[in-house]
Structure 1
């Protein structure tokens, strides 16, 4: 089903929502692909910054320099981890579009909701399941 065109896919919607149109699906895919590229670039920048920081470590024995380098390293590691997570979430969404499972809650199987996906296209849980998860 991976070769199925987006216009032939029928993503689930919640009661009261209109069905996805082929144009909406195409726009969604384009936005996700653009975000994927942006996150890849952010990851690359963070990795390059980390290389520079790690290459400079130990160059100075000054405590302030070491503290500053540690702060910068931790900051860049956080940016890299966040970009990596966003890449994974975006790939998962694109894969779900391709295999026809996009829009189904991974916990309960119900529709995530078109409105929610238009706001956060990488969502994998409906609001009820997401709220339950956050309470745990």
Structure 2
């Protein structure tokens, strides 16, 4: 039997979470733009410094890889947020994509982009 906190979201709660996610999406999109611009600058600068020693070349490579990681993470967060907003629109927000059970409000309040209930998430992590 599902706990009271496992019930579906009501309209007021969904409007609130949708508003928060929409604000978050704008912030994340700006962060992505900045990360992509910084990555472009690093790629352009990669050709400069042809006479760098190994340490300088290694440091530049590490910095580029770090920026690429930031870009990938920012893109992932934008996509997860867009997906959560789509799930609200499609009236599937709060339901596990794997088993169809409710994800749980407490979990979604901590991580509003969650698409799996705790049981399915634990199964996924064990794989």
Correspondence for 1:58 among 14, 24, 47: 47
- The one-character-per-residue Cα deviations of 1:25-70 (angstroms, maximum 9, x if unpaired) are 2221111111111211111111111111111113112123322211
CA distance in 1, matches of 2:10, 2:67: 40
CA distance in 1, matches of 2:37, 2:30: 11
Unaligned runs of at least 5 residues, structure 2: none
Q: CA deviation at 1:19?
A: 5.3
Task: Report if the CA contact (8 A) 1:57-1:66 is conserved.
Answer: no
Unaligned runs of at least 5 residues, structure 1: 1-13
Aligned to 1:110, the other structure's residue is in SS state: coil
CA distance in 1, matches of 2:9, 2:115: 17
Aligned to 1:87, the other structure's residue is in SS state: helix
- The one-character-per-residue Cα deviations of 1:65-94 (angstroms, maximum 9, x if unpaired) are 322211111111000000111111111110
CA distance in 1, matches of 2:36, 2:60: 15
Higher helix share: 2
CA RMSD in angstroms, aligned pairs only: 1.4
Aligned residues: 123
CA distance in 1, matches of 2:47, 2:87: 46
2:34: which partner in 1?
45
CA distance in 1, matches of 2:43, 2:4: 54
CA distance in 2, matches of 1:82, 1:23: 31
CA distance in 2, matches of 1:126, 1:98: 20
